[in-house]
Chains A and B, each alone.
Chain A
Amino acid sequence: MTDRYSRQMLFKPIGASGQEKIRRKHALVIGAGALGSGACEILVRSGVGKVTIVDRDYVEWSNLQRQQLYTEEDARRRMPKAVAACEHLKQINAEVELIPIIADFFGIDIQNIIQDVNVIIDATDNFETRMYINDISQKFKVPWVYGGCVGSTGISYTIIPGKTPCFECLMGKVPFAGDTCDTVGVIAPIVQWVCSQQSVEALKILVEDDRSLRSTLVFTDLWDNEWSSIKVNQLKREDCPSCGSNPTYPYLNVNRNTESTVLCGRDTVQIRPGGGLDVDFVQLTSWFQQSDYQVDANNFLINVHLRDKRAVVFRDGRALIHGTKDEREAKMIYQQMILPALNSQT
């Protein structure tokens, strides 16, 4: 081994044996926005053997203030975050096996991917996906680390199946609300704080140092100088539908046909067709052009101006409809202007 990891191996709780464990492990990072790009960079620099990165979005200018992996060139080229992240991470550490997946997390074949995953990092921006991650974690017995940030406040909690209360125990009665960067903004330092909380817990899991795991829920407000660490052990419930003695994993059984989702802070709605497609970009581009829509594309997405709206279509048939938060309007645009183009493909 080169001396790339020498400082990490001098750190006693990791050492040479811990480093070898890290090298054999697989981390799954859900979301490659602010938290995801921070966590990925730490994991990849640390020498995690394999990192899978799932993200449904592409890089925009408003990301650059806090999403540390991305550059102006990524924003100009509208690079999908999963791909842009992997390109940069490869420059940082070529020893790591990097798997980019451009998709909504609900749309991927998780059974296949999860088999050798040792830890899941939550870098999503919504509670619906987190409840789904929680059920996957419980069903497949893979630990996950919750993280969230908004404004100058951050939160993190580590869920170990069979040991700690799960996210359902913690949040079961809390409706899917919560502040988002939509309304209150977010500053880069809180991103870094949450990344640190999440990635240090991930490293402890990867080196199998379970006794050092934090076990509390941590919450901070960096601007207002507040910090608290909250004990949650008493929340574990025998009758929890996700981690109790008779689990039903309610979030794995939700019927997910064509779905629309309002994206955090983006004035954008995602439309995801049920059952993944494999769109032929050449055909689709020419169809849009024949319809007199202004269109440009890269290898991963097509950007098309549909009258007063802009849409981005991915290879899996997903589309981001920009300039609206109205799911009905977005669905209508998808059905009238994008679906016919997809259906025209043979």
Chain B
Amino acid sequence: MIEILLFASLKEKTGHSKISWDEAPLTVNELKEKLKRTVPGLEEIDHLMIAVNEVYALEGQVINEGDVVALIPPVSGG
């Protein structure tokens, strides 16, 4: 199982602060495509920063069983 953490406005948009994902392993890109299709509120996932186990994720990177994925919206205000 993969644990997916949602931060900031994503919680309001999706209604979740955490999603458990049963499918692993898969690549970052595959996960993005699947989340985009199945989780309302994550249509704009390409606008997000994605970290796996607190390391910024590269697109082809493989996510394994037990990994923690964080979805972080870029923050622009100042």
Interface size class of B (residues with CB under 8 A): 20 to 34
Which of A154, A228, A231, A234 contacts B75, CB < 8 Å?
A154
Contact (Cβ within 8 A) A35 B78: yes
Contact A33 B78 (CB under 8 A): yes
User: Which among A149, A151, A175, A179 has the greatest number of chain B C-beta atoms within 10 A?
Assistant: A179
Given A153-B7, A174-B49, A179-B9, are A125 and B76 also a contact pair (CB < 8 Å)?
yes
Q: Dominant SS at the A interface?
A: mixed
Nearest-neighbour CB distance to chain B for A28, whole angstroms, equals 15
A143 at the interface (CB under 8 A from B): no
**Total count of chain A residues near the partner, CB < 8 A:** 45
Could you jot down 20 A-B contacts, CB within 8 Å? A34-B77, A153-B73, A174-B47, A174-B48, A174-B49, A175-B46, A178-B47, A178-B74, A178-B76, A179-B77, A180-B76, A186-B77, A221-B7, A224-B11, A230-B49, A230-B51, A230-B55, A232-B56, A234-B55, A234-B56
CA distance A175 to B44 in the complex (A): 10
Picked from B11, B74, B77, B78, the residue with its CB within 8 Å of the CB of A36 is B78
Q: Which residues of B contact A102 (CB under 8 A)?
A: none
CA distance in complex: A186, B9 (Å) = 12
Q: Does the CB pair A219–B77 fall under 8 Å? A: no
With contact pairs A151-B8, A217-B56, A234-B58 given, residues A180 and B47 touching in the complex (Cβ less than 8 Å): no
Q: Which residues of B contact A234 (CB under 8 A)?
A: 55-56, 58
* Closest beta carbon of chain A to B71's beta carbon, Å: 11
Most buried by A among B70, B75, B78: B78
Beyond A178-B76, A230-B56, 20 additional pairs, beta carbon < 8 A:
A31-B78, A34-B78, A35-B78, A125-B77, A126-B76, A150-B77, A153-B75, A154-B75, A155-B75, A173-B46, A178-B75, A179-B77, A219-B7, A219-B72, A221-B7, A224-B11, A224-B17, A230-B70, A232-B56, A264-B76
Q: Which residues of B contact A230 (CB under 8 A)?
A: 49, 51, 54-56, 70, 72
Contact with B73, one of A147, A149, A179 (Cβ below 8 angstroms):
A179
B 1-24 to A, binary, CB cutoff 8 A, 1 in contact else 0: 000000111010000010000000
A154 to B73 CA separation, bound complex (whole angstroms): 10
